[in-house]
Structures are given as C-alpha cells and as structure tokens.
Structure 1
Amino acid sequence: MLNSNLNLSTLPESTFTYQFVNSALLFPCMEYQRLLRTEKVASIAENFSEYIANDPKVSFRDGRYYVFDGQNTVEARRACNGGKDLPIRCKVFLGLSKEDEATLFALQTGISTCLTAGERLRANLVARNPDAIHFVRATVDTGVEFAYDGIRAAWKIYCIETAYELYKQYGRERYIEMLNIINEAWRGNVDAYLAGVIRGVTRFISVYEGEYDRERLVQQLARTHPKTITQLAQKDTGSSANRHMRQILRIYNGASREMSLPLKN
C-alpha cells in the first residue's frame, strides 16, 4: 500500500559498508519502527540459521546506529547469545535522513518484516510521502483516525488498505462524503468502519449520485446497526461492494414508494 508513489531516485546515492556493530549500539527509530514482537523474535531464534539470516540494514545518523530493516533479527541474535549483547555484522548506510530510513522501512518485504497496513502508512507519513499525507489529512478532517496499532475502536478505521483503495478509486470528495455520512448515521460505532460497510456506502453514493436524498440516507442508516448490513450481505452474491450496496439501497428505500430508487449494477 502507498508504495507506488515512493520514488527511490530521491534517495541519496547508496553508500554503505559492512561493519560489526555491538548490538547494544543498535537502536530502532520509534517514529517509524514497529513495536518489537517478542513471539516473532522467539520464532526466529528457535529456527535461527546463518544459511538464511540476513544482515540487518542500519543507518548511521547523528552518531547513532538506527536499524530500519532487521530489528527482529538483531533481537533474535541476542536471544541466541543468552540475552547478552554481541557484535553483529550489519550493512551500514551513510548519509540517510530519518525520512529516507522511513521510506526504506515502508518497502520491507522480507519474511521476518511483514508490515501491517498501519505500520506501512505510519512509515510513509514519517517519509513525508505526499499521497499518504493527503490520504490521512482527508480522513482526519472528517473526525476519523486510523487504527495504526491494529486495534478496532470507535471513530477509527481498521481496514486501512480498503480505505486507501476507495480513496484512489472514487476520489477524495466521494471518500470524504462516505465518511461524513457514516459518521452522521452511526456516530463512530466501531462496526460502521468495517470494510464491507465503507465499500457499500461509497458504491451507493457513486451509483446514485444526484438521485438520493442525503438526509434520508443518514436517517435510514441510523435505524440499522452496521453489523446487520454485513450479515445480510454475506447471504448475497457478487462483489463485496455490490452486495453491501444492495443492502444499503434496501434500507434507503424502506417502505416508501415515492422515495424508492431502482436497483442498479
């Protein structure tokens, strides 16, 4: 996610050396780094082998060694050494800024560094990726935030990948309108930001643009729990967006003939 706009040509010329650095001197930059996953470290340490272990990638900046790729590997090597610090062979890059490190962190694809959507988005923000900044700004302006920690909560979007997909596919204005309608209808209900619901609402306002009554849509949606929409959509066929849109159309129409809208694909 958000990788298509990362331009590696903006990074300084690649200058690096291989150095043995004591693990006590290796630090993660917490502005873009993930929290250490102890279970992942234990798994790497248990199956550790020099045949597959990679050298951690490190940025030497402001007199300190910042690990931007391989934090778990560093901790696994320390664990294999009885929890004691030890020299670790690292690929040390020179001349990188914090933003450069965040860009490279966001591009990690190794088996030991699979990033969540929240971690990748946060790294792209530190890297000052314009697309990430505009996407987040559009979202936050509606009163909604992202669940960067992966924990579902009120007024937070957990399905970050889906939200970004809708932002790109339907454009900023429809994306914002979708969130505003959901906010007004369900007042931050945690289930209102499920992937199917935000897909369905976005699809509805796109298909019926200029035809639906906004006030009626908000009022009708408010009478139905968002989880009900997803449950009914599971029994339907077609794409997730269309299945959820049809449920929203049914709710919008209600028993009214005068306000009823026809089914569209």
Structure 2
Amino acid sequence: MITSTTFRLDGRLALITGSSGGIGLALARGLGQAGARLVLNGRNAAKLERAVAALRGEGLQVQGHVFDVTQANEVQAAVDAIEGEHGAIDVLVNNAGLQKRMPLHDFPEADWRELMQTNVDSVFLVGQAVARKMIPRGRGRIINICSVQSELGRPNIAPYMASKGAVKMLTKGMAIDWGPYGINVNGLGPGYFKTELTEKLVQDEQFSAWLLGRTPSRRWGDVDDLAGAAVFLASDASAFVNGHILYVDGGVTATL
C-alpha cells in the first residue's frame, strides 16, 4: 500500500561520498528534502563546509566528515566515528568519482590507478565498512553511482568505462552477498548532466548538438533530475528492488 510515508526518509541517516558539489550534493539535497539526516563527505575541508552551510541554510539536517574514500584506514575510522556521533547509517550513496579524458594509448599508468582507486576501490571500501554495520541490524540501503558508460562507450574514456562497468557488476555482487541480510544494493546511472566535470562538453557546441540529437528527451540533464530516483532507491518504495541499475539518462541507453 502506498501511503504518505512510502517515499519518506524521516529520521534515517544517509552518508553521501563525494558530496561537496555536483551530483553528490544534489543527491544529498534530495535525500534531505525527503527527511533524511545527512552526512556529506569530501577531501577538501573548505569546500565541504561550504556545501554543509548551503544545505543547512535550506533547513536540512546535515553534518560534514572529511576523509579519503580510497584509504581503507580512513574509511573505517570515519564510518566508526559517524555511527558513534550520529547513529546508524541507514543509507549509503557511493558517489565519489573521477574522470580523465585522453586516448587509451596515451593514458599514464598512474592516472589509471588513481581513477580505479577513486571510482572502484572506494565503492568496495566504503560499501564493505558500512555493510558490516548494517548486517547485524538486518537492514540498509546502498546506492552506487554508475553511469551510462556502465553500458555504452565513447572515445577517449576507456578507463572510465572500465571503472563504471566494474561498479555495475560490483553492485550486483553486493546485492547477491548482502541481500540475505536485509540490505538492498542498487545502482543509479546518470546520463549526461551539467556539472563541473562536464562543463567543457556543455560548452562544446558540436558535442552538445550531437548529444541533444542522440537523447530522446532532447536536453542535458539537470542534477536535480536525479533526486527522485535516489529517494526511491533509499525509501521503502524500493523494498523488493535489489541488484538493479536505474538509468536516469533522458533515454540515451534506449536508442542507437
């Protein structure tokens, strides 16, 4: 039965990694508007505090926690501290990510390792640390941020495609292993959105024209378009949704 609380997150604590700006901040805002208490994460303390202040100014309950999602010791210490200070983490959004564009034959090994650590290792490390807390409680929601590049390719982003393909399959693996403990793990796959990371593409008239022609909705995504999908996956409305990747892409993955 659908009730007034089906899509509500009142009282639940949500940790969103990489949420100082862009998609992560928009996801946090959406979860907060649905009633969740928020913990934002980033590595830049000043930028993180500005994001916290902005959401507090909107009347949301929000804290910030600086830690590096690619470092296992920092992740474990942070998860322990967050639960100790704010209570059980009910919702985890693994959003931290990195993009680097260049031909694959020119891609430096150091950049490959950095990208994989940020995009894949962080999902494993934070996901595992939080799941270990959720398992004894018998409940929890984990949302991993995938991409249309979990399915589709473009020139000069092969390592990013590889990382987001890995996140898709890691999401399914998490759902298989942790579903029996009452944890729902799903992916959210954004299409092309206007963010700091895509600003150059937005300004590229030729690329934008190609994208608008390729996208059935005929526009770039706005980060607020992702909020409803995140709330759905975090709420009781998705109680029997597990191991699914929900693409929010204006139809890009539906057309050639």
The answer to which structure has the higher helix fraction is 2
Q: State the TM-score, normalized to the length of structure 2.
A: 0.22
Q: TM-score, normalised by structure 1?
A: 0.22
